[in-house]
Amino acid sequence: MLSAMMLLCAQAGMMGSGWRDAINPQVWLAVLGTRFGSVWLWQILLGVVAVAVLLIKPRTLQAMLLILAAAQLILLAGVGHAAMREGFLGGLQRLNHAVHLLSAGWWAGGLLPLLMCMRMAKKPRWRGAAITAMMRFSRYGHLAVAAVLLSGVVNSLMILGWSLPLDSDYVRFLLMKVVFVAVMVIIALYNRYFLVPRFNRAHAATKQFIQLTWLEVILSVAVILAVSIFATWEPY
């Protein structure tokens, strides 16, 4: 919710005359009257509802929290480069971008809970539930990774076409993102197919799994930072 409000202020500053207009309620209203604003208003409202759910009954309303978070991710597909086209092709591009965002959230968002499950698996009381959760994440995580890669390629083609202007800062940061994601994929495959089968035989495998998963977390943050920068730039 806070970041959504801050982004609204940043957009107001860019539309207006800088920092002064970033905190000007009249400019906020002007921004909310744009296509970006019509989408972002829902982003803020969903954030408010999510915070309310967290404060009231976070445990009993987990399904609602998941739906709210997914809705906020889907709304991001309605702004930026994904909204550059109209008509059927534009709808297809936004749908693809929504799939990309949901899949990325599924993959990267599951890494910290995975590390928590690794810790809980050491306790007899939680061992069974933790192992079950990790097995499900491993099984369905393959789908998330595949969806991220496929939708990412489609999204890049719809924005850049088949050209790749290396003199563009947008493309350079995009390639940086691709490298980070490629390393994450390699780590995920190494963890799943090399380290996991060795858990029962070598304690070092478990330790290395945790270390590499933390590296995945760091890389996912780097990807988000890169995207937050180049997504505001022109592709060419």
Q: Residue 184 — very low, low, confident or very high, per pLDDT cuts 50/70/90? A: very high
**What is the CA angle 84-85-90, rounded to 5?**
120
Provide Rg for the chain, Cα atoms.
20
pLDDT band at 100 (very low <50, low <70, confident <90, very high): very high
CA-based nearest residue to 191, from 118, 101, 119, 106: 118
Please report which confidence band the pLDDT of residue 143 belongs to, taking 50, 70 and 90 as the band edges: very high
Q: Which residues contact 57 (CB under 8 A, 6 or more apart)?
A: none
**CB of 181 closer than 8 Å to CB of 216:** no
> What confidence tens digit (pLDDT) does each residue in 25-36 have?
888 888 888 888
Residue 210 CA to residue 117 CA, distance in Å, equals 11
- Is the per-residue pLDDT at 17 higher than 90? no
pLDDT band at 55 (very low <50, low <70, confident <90, very high): confident
Question: Residue 152: what pLDDT?
Answer: 94
User: CA 186, CA 61: separation in Å to the nearest integer?
Assistant: 35
pLDDT at 145 over 80: yes
pLDDT class of 147 with cuts at 50, 70, 90: very high
Per-domain residue ranges of the chain: 1-76, 86-236
Taking the whole predicted model, whether its pTM rises above 0.75 is answered as yes
